[in-house]
């Protein structure tokens, strides 16, 4: 295989990719990369306002994009989105389940014991990450089943493999996402088509709008004790940048990984390999 053939593996021209949680830091970076590879992108989120820098980057790409409101916890909302996407692009080829996150009230701390975490916060975190992956996979995956081809890519977390302290619901939910990834990979291949693949990436510690000021001091920019502990356990000695996900994402979506399904790929700077000594 020569360079031209390898490059063509990452040409997504004419392919339609749905991204949930697409206006977040990681979802937005993935959307820009795939637009640059020629894809049609449906950026779906409850927040449809794009940051100015993201708008500028999207406008300079070669693919087509629509930004639509969608709630990953409401099937009617997802079905409405699917209808709009089909009307705009004609088909759905890929789904990236990037919606997720933690709830502040589902986090333990000096003033909040695990025993006192409110049920609503635990339920919200569990549902956002697990149900918010399963429901889009049902709604958009059905189109792939009918077409007998497609790719679903989930976003798990290092917390699924090695639970981080203080965030029990998030860690448990992401572990469930990894398990569901494997289950769905087998189900789609056996029941519908071996040309429908399901995989996940498990990011390590990336700075996002949600965690930036948990890991770095808002005024000084210095690491917080929690941030320092994470860096001390990351052999590469830094937090991930959004673009660090792109190699794994593009590979798992592309025909270059056509014999790969049911795996969870760590993108973590060596965090999962480090024993701490």
Alpha-carbon distance of 255 to 127, in angstroms, equals 32
Alpha-carbon distance of 2 to 53, in angstroms, equals 36
- Contact partners, residue 97, CB within 8 Å, separation at least 6: 20, 21, 72, 132, 133, 136, 137, 152, 153, 154, 155
In Å, the largest CA–CA distance within the chain is 60
Q: What is the 3-state secondary structure (H, E, C) of 59-82?
A: HCCCCEEEEEECCCCCHHHHHHHH
CB of 249 within 8 A of CB of 30?
yes
Query: And the tokens for 27?
Result: 């979802």
Position of tokens 């629509």?
66
Alpha-carbon distance of 180 to 169, in angstroms, equals 16
Q: Which of 169, 16, 191 is nearest to 102 (CA)?
A: 169
Q: What is the DSSP letter of 264?
A: E
Q: Is 143 a catalytic residue?
A: no
Position of tokens 């392919």?
15
What is the CA angle 185-188-191, rounded to 5?
A: 135
Counts for the chain of helices (H) and strands (E), in that order: 11, 7
Catalytic (active-site) positions:
170
């Amino acid at each position: 295989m020569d360079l031209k053939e390898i490059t063509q593996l990452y040409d997504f021209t004419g392919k339609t990719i749905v991204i949930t949680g697409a206006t977040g830091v990681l979802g937005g970076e993935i959307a820009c990369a795939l637009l640059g590879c020629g894809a049609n992108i449906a950026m779906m989120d409850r927040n449809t306002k794009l940051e100015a820098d993201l708008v500028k980057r999207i406008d300079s790409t070669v693919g087509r994009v629509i930004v639509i409101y969608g709630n990953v916890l409401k099937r009617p909302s997802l079905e409405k989105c699917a209808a709009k996407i089909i009307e705009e692009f004609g088909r759905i080829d890929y789904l990236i389940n990037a919606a997720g996150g933690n709830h502040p009230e589902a986090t333990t701390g000096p003033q909040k014991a695990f025993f006192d975490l409110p049920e609503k916060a635990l339920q919200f975190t569990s549902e956002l990450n697990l149900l918010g992956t399963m429901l889009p996979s049902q709604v958009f995956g059905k189109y792939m089943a009918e077409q007998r081809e497609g790719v679903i890519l989930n976003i798990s977390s290092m917390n699924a493999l090695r639970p981080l302290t203080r965030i029990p619901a998030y860690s448990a939910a992401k572990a469930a996402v990894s398990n569901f990834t494997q289950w769905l990979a087998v189900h789609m291949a056996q029941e519908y088509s071996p040309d429908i693949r399901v995989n996940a990436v498990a990011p390590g510690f990336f700075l996002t709008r949600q965690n930036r000021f948990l890991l770095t001091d808002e005024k000084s920019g210095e690491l917080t004790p929690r941030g320092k502990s994470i860096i001390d356990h990351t052999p590469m000695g830094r937090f991930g940048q959004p673009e660090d996900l792109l190699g794994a994402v593009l590979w798992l979506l592309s025909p270059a990984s056509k014999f790969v399904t049911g795996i969870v790929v760590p993108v973590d700077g060596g965090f999962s390999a480090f024993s701490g000594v």
